């Protein structure tokens, strides 16, 4: 989580510098955020609000639900979604082309119970075969 938190912090600070020239005084910034990022965003929001003098209004939801809100025209200032959900929004014109930046890459680990044989997960195809019970 520490790496994720640091990367999100970079994103939020960058957002602060983007909004500062446009908004003269404290403003509300509406962030649509995938619920997977909630712990990091909740931890970072107070520091962002102090440094940027803006109030962060965060709406958490599943990536699909937030994608649908954006598609139907819900107002927002920034969105933090997985790339597979963000890219189609750019293609559809719901998100400004060139404004999307990858701020986090997530690594996932696989483990097996002690004493169990190690499955072959050396390739994507082998991993898929193991997950499908092959």
- The pLDDT tens digits for 13-59 are 334 334 444 444 668 999 999 999 999 999 999 999 999 889 999 99
**All structural domains of the chain:** 2-91 (3.40.190.10)
pLDDT of residue 25: 61
Size of the chain in residues = 134
Exposed / middle / buried, residue 49 (Cβ in 10 Å: 0-12, 13-18, 19+): middle
Which of 25-29, 58-62, 68-72, 125-129 shows the lowest per-residue confidence on average (mean pLDDT)?
A: 25-29
Q: Give the rounded percent of residues in the chain with a pLDDT score beyond 70.
A: 80
Q: How far apart are CA 55 and CA 99, in angstroms?
A: 21
Q: Say whether pLDDT at 8 is over 60.
A: no
Q: Say whether pLDDT at 74 is over 70.
A: yes
């Amino acid at each position: 989580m520490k790496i994720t938190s640091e990367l999100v912090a970079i994103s939020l600070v960058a957002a602060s510098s983007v909004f500062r020239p446009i908004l003269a005084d404290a403003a509300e910034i509406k962030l649509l955020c995938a619920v997977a990022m909630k712990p990091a965003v909740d931890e970072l929001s107070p520091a962002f609000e102090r440094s940027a003098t803006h109030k962060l209004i965060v709406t958490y939801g599943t990536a699909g639900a937030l994608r649908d809100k954006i598609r139907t025209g819900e107002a927002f200032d920034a969105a933090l979604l997985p790339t597979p959900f963000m890219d189609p929004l750019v293609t559809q014109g719901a998100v400004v082309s060139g404004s999307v930046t990858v701020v986090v890459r997530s690594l996932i680990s696989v483990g097996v119970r002690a004493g169990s044989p190690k499955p072959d997960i050396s390739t994507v195809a082998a991993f898929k075969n193991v997950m499908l019970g092959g």
